[in-house]
């Protein structure tokens, strides 16, 4: 059953219904974007940018092991 059968067309053409429809559309886009972002692996900016705080050599008790 469509919304046209439940509400008169004059009510559906009002500005408040258009504002609510725009809000629902934006809200849907935001939630879809968040859901897709949650599926993707995390990206750490520190992995791409060299930092001075990283040691140039390992200080492990096993110095020949990979870093």
- Cβ atoms 48, 54 nearer than 8 A: no
Domain, as residue range, for 25: 3-47
Q: For residue 56, what is the DSSP state? A: S
Tell me whether residue 64 is in a domain: no
Please give the full DSSP string across 14-34, using - where no structure is assigned.
SHHHHHHHHHHHHHHHHHHHH
pLDDT at 46: 75
In angstroms, the CA 58 to CA 55 distance is 7
Does residue 9 lie in a domain region? yes
The reply to whether 57 falls in a domain is no
Q: How many domains does the chain have?
A: 1
The predicted pLDDT at position 9 comes to 87
58 inside domain: no
Let me know if residue 13 belongs to a domain: yes
Within-domain flag for 37? yes
Each residue's pLDDT expressed in tens, for the chain with a length of 67 residues: 555 568 888 988 999 999 999 999 999 999 999 999 999 998 888 777 766 666 667 777 777 766 5
Is 40 among the domain residues?
Answer: yes
| Residue 36 lies inside a defined structural domain of this protein | yes
Q: How far apart are CA 12 and CA 3, in angstroms?
A: 9
pLDDT of residue 36: 96
pTM assigned to the model: 0.54
């Amino acid at each position: 059953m469509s919304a046209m059968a439940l509400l008169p067309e004059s009510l559906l053409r009002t500005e408040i219904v258009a504002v609510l429809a725009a809000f629902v559309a934006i809200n849907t886009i935001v939630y879809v974007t968040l859901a897709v972002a949650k599926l993707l692996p995390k990206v750490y900016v520190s992995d791409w940018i060299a930092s001075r705080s990283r040691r140039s050599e390992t200080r492990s008790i096993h110095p020949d092991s990979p870093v």
